[in-house]
Amino acid sequence: MINKQNLWFLTLFSLILVLSIYYLTMPDEVLQTIKTENKETKETVEIKDSDVLAALRVEADEETLNEMNTLQEVLLNESATVEEKNDAYEALKELNQNKGKEEEIEKSILENHKLKSFVKIKGDQVQVVISNKKHDEVLANSIIRTVQKGFETRMYITVKFQS
């Protein structure tokens, strides 16, 4: 009597056998055509400005995620003091606020200056990376003013042009 396991084995083995025979009996011209098509479809990879900004975003997101995980471990740690848990909670809250503020600033730069950007806030420092080939001091000053409008306190803002 054949059980389910043996039936599956025979079915898969038969399928592999049929595909192997088909591959072996296939004419050489078809195989050569398939190989040349694969070579032609390979593309060269170019790094674009938006790719640089995306890479910066991914790196910042990973860093933020690691910080959040560390802070959440402190919050969930039973041996942590109340003060440590409060500090971890405040730091988590600040990370979330900064993330929202970064997105808001990027949107503001896109609307006001029609430029794609990456913004990273750490403490009182704001790092702005602009995707633009033209390095312009007037534009940089305008972006700094736009970014500073979003904060009540004085921030140290740096603008870098990525070409």
Within a domain: residue 102? yes
Q: Domain range for residue 105?
A: 49-162
Q: What is the DSSP letter of 162?
A: E
Please count the structural domains in the chain: 1
Distance CA 122, CA 155 (A): 10
CB atoms within 10 A of CB 71: 20
Within a domain: residue 120? yes
Summarised one tens digit per residue, pLDDT across range 72-99 is: 888 888 888 889 989 988 998 998 898 8
Q: The whole model's pTM is what?
A: 0.63
Distance CA 130, CA 160 (A): 6
Within a domain: residue 118? yes
pLDDT at 35: 64
Within a domain: residue 39? no
Distance CA 97, CA 103 (A): 10
Within a domain: residue 25? no
**Domain CATH for 102:** 1.10.287.4300
Whole-angstrom Cα Rg for the chain: 28
Within a domain: residue 37? no
Within a domain: residue 3? no
Amino acid at residue number 74: V
Summarised one tens digit per residue, pLDDT across range 93-146 is: 998 898 889 999 999 999 998 888 999 999 889 999 988 878 888 888 999 999
Within a domain: residue 122? yes
